[in-house]
Amino acid sequence: MATPASNTPTSTVSISAGGRSVGRLLLQSGTVVALILLIVFFFAMRPDVFLTFTNVRNILYQVSILAIIAGAQTVVMVVGDFDLSVGATSALAGAVTGALLIGGVPIPMAIIVGLIVGLLIGVANGLLIAYLRLSAFVATLATMTSVIGLAYLVTEGTTLFNFPAEFNNLGQGRFLEIPLPVYFAIVISVVLWLVLRFTTAGRRWYATGGNAEVSRLSGVNVKRARFIAFSVAGLVSAIGGILLAARLGSASAVQGEDNMMFSVAAVFLGMTVVRSGVANLGGTMVGVAIIGVMSNGLNILGVNAYVQQVLTGLIIIAAVTLSSLKTRER
């Protein structure tokens, strides 16, 4: 019986090419493979718990707000920037909505004002970055600082609560046993995906992120594209913040502040999913899923919170390294 070693030189070449293609495939789909491996690992460790309906629903509920904010971050990262103020914007939008609700403003009006607040912060970021040419890092760091201050002013440093039950139901209610924020996250993600994939605006964002100068010379209004991307990010972050206030039944100035860091991490993780290595919504959702599965799985295994933080950082480093390897390969 012939062994692979006794094959002809031609077949040896084909094995080598096959090995390279397997390596490439692993590199290409490393993040998705990582997600699958995490699921398999946690399922193997706790088969009685991990993939039960209750726990899967639990994971989806926990990542729903992050998914929305990571969607906002994806839009900005598609145009080649990033937004440090998404967490602060969401906190302020939630706080404004909460303060208005406590003041007796009808729920739809309070939500609309909260959304407008988020949109205005996005508009301010867009103006500073697209038209005044500030770096996204400096501009969004500055707006983040001011927005946190505004949130403290709105909440007077306390936690706002006692919202109407109908409002809290937006974050705590269920439809077909699935929490409503999960549906909101799915709808917003699908809308953002459609915009990025099938609209002129989406293509302009990708073109701007790919090479702003070439895009400009090709007739793309780069400034407007970046301005709109930041405005959309502000608005979508506000949706996340309002839903978080409804989910917790309260609002504070620093609520959900870790969403900024995790949203950037999710987008970076997602960038490794596609061959081009650019931000994309599907990839971001894979990134969000990795973060959610990691956190839930490690909690179920009773792993210390500090160890969890170390592991999360390592996963992000691994993903970014993978992404840079892919870029080099291109």
Partner 1 sequence: MRTRFKALAALAAVAALTLAGCSSPSGEPAPGGEPAGGDEPFKVVAFTSGNQTPIGAWWVKAMDAKAKELGWDMTMIQGDFDFQKMNPAVESAIGQGADVVVDGYTDFASIGSIVTAAKDAGIPMFAIDSGTEPSDAFVLNITTDQQGIVDQTLGAFDKALGGLAGKTVMVIGHDPHAGIRLRASLAEKALKAAGAEIANGEIQKVESPATGRTEALKLVADYLAAHPDGLDAIWVGWDDAALGAAQAVKEAGSHAVVSGVDATSEAIAGIQAGGAFLATIEQPWPSILDDLIKQIEAYRADGTLPSNNFEAVQANLVTKDNAASITPSDKLG
Residues of the shown chain interacting with partner 1 in the complex, contacts defined by CB under 8 A: 46, 49, 52, 54-55, 58, 61-62, 152, 156-159, 161-162, 172, 248-250, 252-258, 295-296, 299-300, 302, 304-306, 309
- Closest to partner 1 by CB, 184 vs 227, is 184
Would you say 41 or 152 has its CB closer to partner 1?
152
Residue 48 to residue 32: CA distance in whole angstroms: 24
Nearer Cβ to partner 1 (192/294): 294
Query: What CA–CA distance (Å, rounded) separates 324 from 289?
Result: 21
Q: What ranges in 249-304 are assigned the alpha helix state H?
A: 258-271, 281-300
Enumerate residues 6+ apart whose C-beta is below 8 A from 36. none
Smaller CB distance to partner 1: residue 52 or 321? 52
d(CA 266, CA 280): 10
Among 192, 225, 172, 171, which residue's Cα sits nearest to residue 70?
A: 192
Q: Which is nearer to partner 1, 44 or 305 (CB)?
A: 305
CB of 58 to partner 1, least distance (A): 5
CA nearest neighbour of 139 among 71, 209, 88, 195: 88
Which is nearest to 315 in space by CA: 35, 7, 26?
A: 35
Burial class (CB in 10 A: 0-12, 13-18, 19+), 252: buried
CB of 249 to partner 1, least distance (A): 7
Question: CB-wise, 258 or 329, nearer to partner 1?
Answer: 258
Q: Which is nearer to partner 1, 152 or 186 (CB)?
A: 152
CB of 258 to partner 1, least distance (A): 5
What count of other Cβ atoms lies within 10 Å of the Cβ of residue 204? 23
Cα–Cα distance for residue pair 136/118, rounded to 1 Å:
17
What does the alpha-carbon distance between residue 24 and residue 88 come to, in Å, rounded to a whole number? Answer: 39
CB of 243 to partner 1, least distance (A): 13
CB of 296 to partner 1, least distance (A): 5
CB of 21 to partner 1, least distance (A): 39
Residues near 324 by beta carbon (within 8 Å), at least 6 away in sequence: none
In the bound complex, what is the minimum distance in angstroms from residue 24's beta carbon to partner 1? 36
